[in-house]
A and B are shown apart, each in its own frame.
Chain A
């Protein structure tokens, strides 16, 4: 089966002074897959991701995201991607509805379109009773689900999730992953970073970054075979230990 590349990264490097936070990485992500982007703290995941979403410019190297060149067409890239940061960046002092209107608005959606989006979200997520509540007053789990929905408002081809499930209970995490699966099923490519190795098992393919480089990239099953272990957790530990 011929797989369509939606992200193609070639020799991407980001240096801060002499320190290479991301050191010459190359990889591809295929359309419609859930791509797990793993690494220890400080391995360079977030820096790499920030380059791909166009808020950090690479020191050297090239990448195309959603078919657009990162250097010359960064605004087109931004139109076609969604991003959910670790901070669930919605405005705490605005209501859920007001947040949706605002983010829909700056992505260029029409008022009518935003209205239908709100109506369908209310139905899908069953949020009738919280749609007019301030985001600041909601539990973390809700904030995560809503940020995910907001990142998808403009129907992007790819959505980038930066540690989307930090700090919530296993049930809420499970529910969140169900949302991710539903979205992936609709054809959206999911690019997700995480620290939870059970989540890594849910991904179609996984890359593991160590010290600015990608040390492994394959399906969870093949990675476990390759490293002769039973779980992604052990793969991760083995990789991190080997490098040290």
Chain B
């Protein structure tokens, strides 16, 4: 125990001595959290829409007005032929073209029924889907009897006339993407920082030759490893705290559940990440190699975490791969506790998996750390 304290003391001294590093450790994650949380939004807003009004009637103007009133759309200059409008889409200046046919006014009055053509740029299929829903909703609200013909999809969207759907969004009532993203991004930052720092820490001593000096002392493997990793465990919890404060103060992300559950989970989670970092450290000889491997895993972990793309929409094999992704569980738990108010019993499955995983990785790491070659 005494020996461990000597190591911890030395590690903290080295961390605090390097003022530049210290600044990076704290300022970079904060900046990332502030920037990414605002940028990584899936809100579909400010959609450029072009309306070709072939009718120029009171009713067509009414319909245009209801698009204008929507906060989702930004009206481009009007065009008078679909061809011109399509050219505009080719140039990338508009995403949606709505073609109001001649006799729109007359057909609405006489036959109570008409068609409107809607062309949506569907290069980004997900966005196009959302836009299609928005357009349909606005047209529907204007008049239930208008059939939209969506040309971006092979099937025409049939609008059921007699069913009124009232969506009710739970857990994130205002559909605020920041609420959804901030806890997830915070998870990434905590993970990245602790993984990189821990994987480079021991390999750095290898490079300097100080590890050899330590290996000729009678120090026990576990003493050295605990002493080495403990400072980064503390650092991870500090970063989490700073991030949670920013989430609350800057982004007003709700904290419905018990914050202690988050800390309990993070405490175990960090052990796992540090174990992975140490494992990488043991199997590399230079900081470059360690960084490269840490990045390799980090990119996979991030993209397969369910943070940016829902796990449910991945192919089955990929879904299975996410099962060994620690970030996946951390993201789930953060969202559950912060946004749904889940308690400890709700996160027991994730907690059990992460605990087992932590034991496995640290076991492997201690086993592969060799004082003698």
Contacts and interface: CB of A to CB of B under 8 A. Distances in A.
Interface residues of B, number: 25
A79 B13 contact: no
Nearest to A79: B218
Nearest to A88: B209
B308 interface: no
Given A56-B372, A91-B210, A93-B18, A98 B216 contact: no
A107 interface: yes
A107 B218 contact: yes
Contact of B6 (A76, A87, A101): A101
B248 to A, nearest CB: 36
Contacts of B162: none
Given A91-B14, A93-B18, A106 B210 contact: no
B208 A87 contact: yes
A185 to B, nearest CB: 24
Contacts of A105: 2-3, 5-7, 9
A89 interface: yes
A83 B216 contact: yes
A102 B217 CA distance: 12
Contact of A87 (B7, B209, B372): B209
Interface in A71-124: 74-76, 78-79, 81, 83, 85-87, 89-94, 98, 101-103, 105-108
A106 B219 contact: yes
B68 interface: no
Contacts of A76: 218
A48 interface: no
B212 A89 contact: yes
Interface in B352-370: none
A87 B207 CA distance: 10
A138 interface: no
A57 interface: yes
B206 to A, nearest CB: 11
A74 B5 CA distance: 24
Nearest to A81: B216
B218 A78 contact: yes
Nearest 10 Cβ contacts at the A-B interface: A105-B6, A87-B209, A89-B213, A83-B216, A78-B218, A89-B210, A79-B218, A102-B10, A89-B209, A55-B215
A53 interface: yes
A105 B301 CA distance: 39
B208 A89 contact: yes
A159 B6 CA distance: 23
A106 B372 contact: no
Contacts of A56: 372-373
Interface in A44-71: 50, 53-57
Nearest to A160: B216
30 contacts: A50-B373, A53-B216, A54-B371, A54-B372, A55-B216, A55-B371, A56-B372, A75-B218, A78-B216, A83-B213, A85-B212, A87-B209, A87-B212, A89-B208, A91-B10, A91-B210, A93-B17, A93-B18, A94-B13, A94-B17, A98-B13, A101-B9, A102-B7, A102-B10, A105-B2, A105-B5, A106-B214, A108-B2, A108-B3, A108-B218
Nearest to B213: A89
Nearest to A78: B218
Interface string B331-353: 00000000000000000000000
Nearest to A104: B6
